[in-house]
Amino acid sequence: MSSLKKSSLIERLDALYEYDREPVTEDKLHGWSTFIAMFSSEHIAGTEFVLGTLLVLHGVTAFDVFAGLAVGNMLAVLSWALMCAPVAVRERLTVYWQIRKIAGPYLTILYSGLFALILCLLAGAMVNVSTTAVSLTMDISSPNFIAGDTVPSIAWITIAIGVGTVVAVLAVLGFERLAHFAKVAAPWMPLVFLAAAVSSLPSLGITGMSNFWQIANEKIWTGVAREGQMQYSFWHCVGLAWLCNIAQHMGMGDVTIFRYAKKWQMGFCSAFGMFLGHYMAWICSGILCAAFIHAQTAAGDANPNPTPGNIAMLGAGYAGIVCVVLAGWTTANPTLYRAGLAFQVATPNWPRWAVTMIAGAVMIITACIPAVLHYLDRIVAYYGLFFMPLGAFIFIDFWLFPKLGLVRNYAERKGLMMSWPAAIGWFGSFGICFVLYAKDQYEAWAWVNDKLPAFLAHYKADLFSQVLPAWIIAVTLYTLCSVIQQKKSPLITEKEN
Amino acid sequence: MTAPLKKALKIVSFTGLVLSVVPAFLVFGGIITKQLYLEIMFLGMVLWFSTAIFWIKKDHLDL
Q: How far is CA A177 from the centre of its chain?
A: 24
The Cα of B7 is separated from the nearest Cα of chain A by a number of Å equal to 17
- CB-nearest to B59 from A183, A197, A201 is A183
Which residue has better confidence, B25 or A441? B25
Q: How far is CA A434 from the centre of its chain?
A: 18
Nearest CA in chain B to A184: B53
Other CB atoms within 10 A of residue A385 CB: 26
A350 within some domain: yes
Res. A278 pLDDT band, cuts 50 70 90: very high
- Report the largest interatomic distance among the alpha carbons of chain A, rounded to a whole angstrom: 83
A48 within some domain: yes
Q: Report how many domains make up chain A.
A: 1
Q: What is the pLDDT of residues B15-60, one digit of tens each?
A: 999 999 999 999 999 999 999 999 999 999 999 999 999 998 876 5
Supply the mean pLDDT for chain A: 88
Residue range of the domain that includes A104: 18-377
**How many residues in chain B?**
63
The Cα of B9 is separated from the nearest Cα of chain A by a number of Å equal to 13
- Cα separation, A463 vs A156, in Å, equals 32
Q: Is B40 on the interface with A (CB under 8 A)?
A: no
Burial of residue A496 (CB within 10 Å: 0-12, 13-18, 19+) is exposed
Angle between helices A188-200 and A175-185 (to 10 degrees): 40
CB B15 within 8 A of CB B49: no
The Cα of B11 is separated from the nearest Cα of chain A by a number of Å equal to 15
Arithmetic mean of pLDDT, A429-442: 92
CB A48 within 8 A of CB A277: yes
Report chain A residues whose CB lies below 8 A from the CB of B52.
184, 187-188
A179 within some domain: yes
- CB-nearest to A201 from B28, B38, B42 is B28
The Cα of A97 is separated from the nearest Cα of chain B by a number of Å equal to 13
Is B17 in contact with A187 (Cβ distance < 8 A)? yes
- CB-nearest to A316 from B28, B41, B49 is B41
Say which CATH number the domain at A259 has.
1.10.4160.10
A270 within some domain: yes
A299 within some domain: yes
A461 within some domain: no
pLDDT given at position A230: 86
A353 within some domain: yes
Res. A16 pLDDT band, cuts 50 70 90: low
pLDDT given at position B25: 96
Is B27 in contact with A202 (Cβ distance < 8 A)? yes
Is B59 in contact with A184 (Cβ distance < 8 A)? no
Q: Is A348 on the interface with B (CB under 8 A)?
A: no
A2 within some domain: no
Q: What is the pLDDT of residues A302-333, one digit of tens each?
A: 889 999 999 999 999 999 999 999 888 878 87
